[in-house]
Amino acid sequence: MTSSVFVQEKRNEVAGPLHRPVCLQLKAHQAAIAAAHMRDMFATDPARFERFSLQVGELLLDYSKNRITGETMGLLVKLAEEADVAGWRERMFSGDKINNTENRAVLHVALRNRSNHPVIVDGEDVMPKVNAVIERLGAFAERVRSGEWRGYTGERITDIVNIGIGGSDLGPQMVYQALKPYRHPRLKMHFISNIDGAHVKEALEALNPETTLFIVSSKTFTTQETMTNAHYARAWFLAQSQAEKHIARHFVAVSTNRDAVAAFGIDPANMFEFWDWVGGRYSLWSAIGLSIVLAVGAERFVELLEGAHAMDEHFRHAPLAANMPVILALLGVWYNNFFGAESHAILPYDHYLRSLPAYLEQADMESNGKSVDRDGNIVDYPTGAIVWGATGINGQHAFYQLLHQGTKIIPADFIVSIESHTELQEHHDILIANFLAQTEALMRGRTREETQREMGLAQTGQFVSHKVFDGNHPSNAILLQKLTPHALGMLIALYEHKIFVEGVIWNLNSYDQWGVELGKQLASRILPELHADAPVAGHDASTNALINYYRRMSHPRTGL
């Protein structure tokens, strides 16, 4: 049996969550409103903004520039009810093992459970150990920040290098960048993730081993890229310090794997732990956030946790129809499954949020980029969107052409802060004006008549069609009062829960990532073959030829 026949047979067995009666209603409703233009929806409903916007703490979500009506939202909320979003939400918060393929609870919410009510995993309340680690992180960071913690020659620490990848890199790096205005003035952060030697080499070139502290961040402490970079950093450090006893002052670890940390030579007293119920891409709230605590201090880190907790509370208790993460998720499903949208753009109008798109690419696509549902059935409906983006203002001068006049439907989130961290008010006003103009332009477009009138183009010969904007392109606007640790915590948690709700509706396990395994396995097979004596023949013709080409062509460099 070929695999494609197998897929076909499995498909036929599956009814799937997108075959619910409410989905048929949604399908019919989509067909009925597909041709409706948002500019008409606004024209006929002066209260559209009030109806389709929501404030939670210092976050305002305006979702009125979407191709929705009151009926759309009613049906989508019904879909959320039928998918039992409320039940799954409670299962997550109460520590049920909803990550079924790894038999794990999913409790990043416990890491920021500032109200401290017990969260039970395997009969044990995890809150005391969560709180103990937050205390330890804060105490350690304070010693480094105050200058009490010194390097082996008695110098203050000036540079901190986080070595990690994926979830052990993207979250802390994004948050550090976002909270730069709050950073310690004398501590510089560096993040090394890439196995390309250029990354570690370039980063260390500028550093002094006497004043550098390394955080080896790895949940498993077996990740090849991280461990290779960590061993290189260790050798770099020893080349100058000359004594293993000094490692303890310059290397700390964040991991769940105590034995591997000790084997690396890091004093287990300098290991900060977390637990298997924290997924990598949801781990910035855990000890993986040590670089954040070092940069902004324990107090600010707690404010970040408090912000996330505020969003957790909203998500847990607000009715589905007035629940910010649920609304974002339902809109995601609406475009993904009923309009055939393939991607979703994240467009921060905030220099400090420039790494948010990369962070959300992982958070979303590693969670919901799946074609098998939680029960092992192959799905017959689209799941996770392709998430992408960049800072909005730069995008305007680059890829926005396609958003405005391309043939694809690309729902987009526009994110901005009302108060800037700089005093450059003129810059900020221009930024805000562009933020507002873009969502307006995407929604309204510009008709042929308007184009001719506004541009003084009388005839079709003057490329009028090229200058017309169809509009009707959906967007959300998310406004933060200011990019504080609290607001950032809320924003990240908002997206985490959006991803969760979409996963529930698609009946996915959003918390495993089996799709990253095959490549790792093949790479470990190929690695020794790169320098094999005889030509390699065990792969397909392309892979064999490429390995052998590399063997031949890299000889001059390696001297073989």
**Residue 98 amino acid letter:** I
Shorter beta-carbon distance to ligand G6Q: residue 336 or 513: 513
Beta bridge partners, 188, equal 159
Q: By Cβ distance, which residue is nearest to ligand G6Q?
A: 166
Which of 281, 314 has the CB closer to ligand G6Q?
Answer: 281
Nearest to 63 by CA among 322, 349, 358, 408: 322
CB of 106 to ligand G6Q, least distance (A): 11
Of 115, 139, 138, 137, the residue nearest 127 (C-alpha): 115
Q: How far is the CB of 239 from ligand G6Q (least distance, A)?
A: 25
Q: Going by DSSP bridges, is the β-strand pair 59-62/475-482 parallel, antiparallel, or unpaired?
A: antiparallel
Collapsed DSSP state (helix, strand, coil) of residue 261:
helix
The SS3 assignment for 277 reads coil
Closest contact distance (angstroms) between CB of 430 and ligand G6Q is 37
- 224 versus 242: smaller Cβ distance to ligand G6Q: 224
Contact between 475 and 409 under an 8 Å Cβ cutoff? The reply is no
Selection from 333, 311, 370 nearest residue 492 by Cα: 311
At closest approach, how far in Å is the CB of 288 from ligand G6Q?
7
Task: CB nearer to ligand G6Q: give 279 or 289.
Answer: 279
Q: What share of the chain is helix, strand, coil (3-state, %, to 5)?
A: 55, 15, 30
Closest CA relative to residue 353, chosen from 315, 379, 320, 391: 391
- Least distance between ligand G6Q and beta carbon 520 (Å): 9
The residues annotated with a catalytic role in the active site are 366, 397, 520
SS3 call for 206: coil
CA gap 558, 503 in Å, rounded: 48
Token code pair at residue 370? 């799946």
Residue closer to ligand G6Q (CB basis): 167 or 395: 167
CA distance 414 to 182: 24
What letter represents residue 538's amino acid? G
Query: Which residues contribute to the site for ligand G6Q (CB under 6 A)?
Result: 165-168, 218-220, 223, 226, 279-281, 366, 513
